[in-house]
Structures are given as structure tokens and as C-alpha cells.
């Protein structure tokens, strides 16, 4: 139960940060990606701030024996760059560039009840189920 409450709290904190920074608005993201037009650098500052805070926090957090709400840290074990990583990143980037949403802001934007955010989240969930089904077929 503590892990669920922790995840819920982290999700709320992330969502509030997205709203305060304006990153739940896909026009901000599309403005950042429009380097040849009316470029908006605000996303770069939001991401840069997040990277700095995370980099500093991880130095202290990873010195602990275990996290507050789990028995072990769940860090990625894979260190190589392979085709699925590159292809997945490219597909993610194309989707982000077309819609202006990535998963976090899309979920946050559901609170506006806009049709575009609902369609995006439905497609995102459908894509996740499709990936899982294709992965099972490959095995």
C-alpha cells in the first residue's frame, strides 16, 4: 500500500510540475520543435531543470541501501544500444512531434477533457496493447 501511495504522490507532483511549467499544453512542445519558425525554448529550460534536480538527487538517493517504499532499487540492467531501443525512440519522437504530447503531459491534459488528449491517450494505450501482443507472438 505504501508503494501505491508513493506512486500516486509522485504522479501528482509530476502532474503539478507539468501544469505549472505549461508543458501540458502541446503547443509549447510543438513550439519547441519548430526550430525554423517561432521557436519556444521554454521546454529546454524545463527539461534542463529536471535533469539537474534528478542528477543531484540521484547522488544521494543511490547511496541508500534501499528505497523508502521498496526492498530494492529497480535500475535498468541493459547498457547497450540496440535496434529496438533506437526504433522505439524514433517512433516516440515522431509521435511526440506530430501530437505535441508525450505520455506524462497527455495524462495530465486529460483533466481538460479535450477530445485531442482523450484520442491521444486511447491511441497510446492501444499502442501499448499492440506492442504486448506482438511481443507475445515473437516468443
Q: List, for residues 59-101, the tens digit of each pLDDT value.
A: 999 999 988 888 888 888 888 999 989 999 999 889 888 888 8
Supply the pLDDT for residue 51.
94
Break the chain into its structural domains and give their ranges. Answer: 2-138
* pLDDT band at residue 30 using 50, 70 and 90 as cut-offs: confident
- pTM as predicted: 0.68
Q: Could you give the percent of the chain with pLDDT greater than 70?
A: 100
> What does the radius of gyration of the chain's CA atoms come to, in whole angstroms?
17
First to last CA, the chain: 33
* pLDDT band at residue 10 using 50, 70 and 90 as cut-offs: confident
Amino acid at each position: 500500500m505504501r508503494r501505491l501511495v508513493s506512486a500516486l504522490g509522485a504522479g501528482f507532483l509530476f502532474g503539478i510540475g507539468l501544469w505549472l511549467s505549461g508543458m501540458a499544453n502541446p503547443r509549447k512542445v510543438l513550439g519547441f520543435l519548430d526550430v525554423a519558425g517561432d521557436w519556444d525554448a521554454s521546454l529546454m529550460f524545463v527539461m534542463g531543470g529536471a535533469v539537474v534536480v534528478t542528477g543531484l538527487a540521484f547522488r544521494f538517493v543511490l547511496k541508500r541501501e534501499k528505497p523508502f517504499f521498496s526492498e530494492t532499487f529497480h535500475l535498468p540492467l541493459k547498457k547497450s544500444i540496440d535496434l529496438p531501443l533506437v526504433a522505439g525512440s524514433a517512433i516516440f519522437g515522431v509521435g511526440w512531434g506530430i501530437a505535441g504530447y508525450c505520455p506524462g503531459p497527455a495524462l495530465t491534459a486529460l483533466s481538460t477533457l479535450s477530445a485531442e488528449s482523450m484520442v491521444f491517450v486511447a491511441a497510446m494505450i492501444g499502442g501499448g496493447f499492440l506492442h504486448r501482443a506482438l511481443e507475445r507472438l515473437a516468443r
